[in-house]
Structure 1
Amino acid sequence: MHPYVPLQSAGPLGLLPTVVGGVVFGLALAAPPGPMNAVIAEESAVRGWRAGLFAGLGAMVADLCFLLLSLVGVATVVTETPGLHRLMVATGGLLMLWFAYGAVRDASGFSSAEASGAESRGFRKALVLALTNPYQVVFWLTVGIGLLRPGTVDVLSSLPSVGTDTTGLLVVRTGHPALLVGLFGGIALWITGFPAAIVLARRRVEALAPAVAWASAAVLAVTGVLFLGQAVVQ
């Protein structure tokens, strides 16, 4: 765990380390493979960059909703109500299986023409999928709350080999709006850059679109089955 230091010792670097730290954290949050990036990849490969962007915006809006609910304490209901948590896991699993079926249909009947209304479809798909994911709620109730609590984190001082020599060089202020700006800025970078990379690769290799759709279907199906399994054994 990174050591906390008093807020006033954030150092002469001002808010820049906080913004940069938020961007890095946002990228780390958005980039790992999973069902949300599977949806973004499928929408981008099959329907184009705008559809992928709007799918990413759906996921980001869900994160914003969870952030606000965590701030007012409403999100704790999910973790304190086992039946509700199980219901969310099961619902999320069923939705992932349904979206996997849709990805299979996209892969089987792929057309290079982008479907009309694809942006709103991708946005709704990602938003509903994210809102039924209880693990995003848990994230905002644990790591997210820590980021919102006023204080500072001296990032480099915790490194075992150079910690004492770098104290105060990279101090991130938690609970500061600049951290949230950086965090959602990092997410925005990912949801614009990732679809662009998928579309660029698709243009170079036209067969990539159905392949991405099949891969997305596999990720969604496996995750959906795991969610349903967890709902049964809880």
Structure 2
Amino acid sequence: MTSLVATLAAGVVFGVALAAPPGPMNAIIAEESVLRGWLAGFKAGLGAMTADGIFLVLALLGVVAFVERFPLVRGVMIGIGGVLMLYFAYGAATDVRSSFRAGEGATDAADPRVGTGFRKAFVLALTNPYQILFWLTIGVGLLQPGTLDVLAQTPYVGESLAGIVVVDTGSPALIGGFFGGIVLWITGFPAALVGAERRVDAFAPVVAGVSAVVLAGFGVLFVTQSIAALS
């Protein structure tokens, strides 16, 4: 029992560590949360997590490995993801002007766009080369017997955290904990943003602006990588 709890806890830590760093998914979650409420932000996170679930199944079936073996297919997917990010960046930039307390008194149920975050995050996640690469390597390994240095996989700061949490892989509890960690993040992150937005009038346009910059930056990066891969 102790081992099971420890494995679950390690999976939760792993899920939070991978979900928390800044990136296009969190940019969409942040924008949806401050403009359209907690439910919209949660649904955006759910869209990204749904894509992770699909990637897990596809990785086990070998489809993700197929995409990685063919540079042309991978290049096209990266290009599509980059163009979509640039498109959503434009939308986020447009939202900056309309977000100065535009949502005052509104509720999630009253906003017809509350479901758009799920679709945006889901589509972007499916064309995100970082997520494809994760499930091609580390993700599949979660179900294979071995060991995993959990915090070493954290984007940006992994090297400084190496060796702190090392667990045995091959247990479904680790996968369950991993997705539990993602759920924890996509629940708490939008809640924190909504709470901050209610206290600071200018918070929503600032978040929308930052989201636009992040999405545009990743969009340019992915389009550049796509051109390099296809040339």
TM-score (norm 1): 0.85
Which residue in the other structure is 2:80 paired with? 91
Which residue in the other structure is 2:205 paired with? 210
Runs of 5+ consecutive residues of structure 1 not aligned to the other structure: 1-11, 156-162
- Paired residues for 1:26-45 under 5 Å: 26-45=15-34
Which residue in the other structure is 1:79 paired with? 68
The SS at the match of 2:46 is helix
Between the aligned partners of 1:67 and 1:154, the Cα distance in structure 2 is 19
Q: Residue 10 of structure 2 is aligned with which of 11, 21, 24?
A: 21
Distance 1:154 1:196, change over 3 A: closer
Shift of 1:134: 2.1
Which residue in the other structure is 1:175 paired with? 170
Aligned residue identity for 2:129? P
Which residue in the other structure is 1:200 paired with? 195
- Paired residues for 1:60-209 under 5 Å: 60-110=49-99, 111-112=102-103, 113=106, 116-152=111-147, 172-209=167-204
The SS at the match of 1:172 is strand
CA-based RMSD of the aligned residues comes to: 1.9
Distance 1:77 1:154, change over 3 A: closer
Aligned length: 211
Between the aligned partners of 1:221 and 1:152, the Cα distance in structure 2 is 37
Question: Identity of paired residues, percent?
Answer: 60
Between the aligned partners of 1:86 and 1:154, the Cα distance in structure 2 is 30
Rg (Cα) greater in structure? 1
Q: Residue 154 of structure 1 contacts residue 171 of structure 1 at CA under 8 Å; is this kept in 2? A: yes
Shift of 1:13: 2.7
CA displacement 1:200-220 (0-9 Å, x = unmatched) = 000110210011001000000
Q: Residue 17 of structure 1 contacts residue 171 of structure 1 at CA under 8 Å; is this kept in 2? A: no
The SS at the match of 2:115 is helix
The SS at the match of 1:15 is helix
The SS at the match of 2:194 is helix
TM-score (norm 2): 0.86
The SS at the match of 1:85 is helix
Q: More displaced, 84-93 or 146-155?
A: 146-155
Aligned residue identity for 1:75? V
CA displacement 1:139-177 (0-9 Å, x = unmatched) = 01111122110245598xxxxxxx9xx9xxx77331211
Aligned residue identity for 1:79? E
Which residue in the other structure is 2:40 paired with? 51
Distance 1:88 1:151, change over 3 A: same
The SS at the match of 1:148 is coil
Distance 1:154 1:15, change over 3 A: farther
Runs of 5+ consecutive residues of structure 2 not aligned to the other structure: 151-162
